Structure 1
Amino acid sequence: MFIKIKKNCGIFMEHNGLEKQHWVPVTSNFLINLDHVAEVSFYTIKEKRTRYDLENHQFDVQPHTRVLHLHMAYTYSTMKENIKGNKGSLVERSYYKLYFLPEEMGQYDELRSKIEEHVLNL
């Protein structure tokens, strides 16, 4: 199953292809294949956080911003051979964090309900 993320709906995205604490607005529609997602988390930010855009302009993420965190399967990972100068390897899985601002128009609830339709609660 695919989920469609719509552009210009008050949604911002962070992923491990960006520098730490940077996020970008979703400016084009895109699809995510849920068959390639290993873990999904839903949570709400409780306190103000600082993030940066691509030009390093600082702005605050407001409380009550909702987050959909998608951790991809191991087939979507990279292998780091050196960790802080030491030999060894680290597998870093790809992830996507979608931030839904408090004034966002219901896409978070729609996505969450569709994902939860495929969850078996025991």
Structure 2
Amino acid sequence: MFIKIKKNCGIYMQHNGLEKQHLVPVTSNFLINLDHVAEVSFYTIKEKKIRYDLENHEFQIQPHTRVLHLQMTYTYAMIKENINGTKGSLVERSYYKLHFLPEEMGQYDELRTKIEEHVLNL
């Protein structure tokens, strides 16, 4: 099953390809294959957080911003052979964090509902 993320001025994304603390606005539609997602979590940011755009301009993520965190399977992982100059290996799985600002119009609720339809609660 795929989920479609629609371009929207109230959605920002973070992933492994970005520097830490950076977010980018979702400016085009894209699909994520849920068959390649290992873990999903939903949470709400409780306090203001400082983040940066691609040009290193600072902006604030407001409280009540909802986050959909998708951790991908190990098939979509990178293996690092050197960690801080020490030999060894570290498997870093790909992830996507979608930040839905408080004024965003319902796409978060729609996505969460669709994902939870495929969850068996015991």
SS in 2 for 1:105: coil
> Cα deviation per residue 1:33-84 (whole Å; 9 max; x = unaligned)?
0000000000000000000000000001000000000000000000000000
Q: Which residue of 2 aligns with 1:93?
A: 93
Cα distance, 1:31 vs. partner? 0.1
The letter of the residue matching 2:87 is K
**Distance in 2 (alpha carbons) for counterparts of 1:60 and 1:104:** 15
Residues 1-122 of structure 1 mapped to structure 2, 5 A cutoff: 1-122=1-122
Consecutive unaligned residues of structure 2, counting only runs of 5 or more, are none
Q: Superposition RMSD on alpha carbons, in Å?
A: 0.5
Aligned residues: 122
TM-score (norm 2): 0.99
Q: Which SS does the other structure have where 1:21 is aligned?
A: coil
Unaligned runs of 5+ in 1: none
Q: Partner amino acid for 1:114? A: K
Q: What secondary structure sits across from 1:88 in the alignment?
A: strand
What's the CA shift for 1:9?
A: 4.2
Question: What is the CA–CA distance in structure 2 between the aligned matches of 1:116 and 1:66, rounded to whole Å?
Answer: 16
Whole-angstrom distance in 2 between the partners of 1:42 and 1:9: 20
* Equivalent pair of 2:79/2:92 in contact (CA under 8 Å): yes
Identity %: 86
SS for the counterpart of 1:51 is: strand
Instruction: Return the offset for 1:8.
Output: 2.0
Q: State the alpha-carbon separation in 1 of the partners of residues 6 and 119 from structure 2.
A: 23
Provide runs of 4+ in structure 1 moved above 2 Å: none
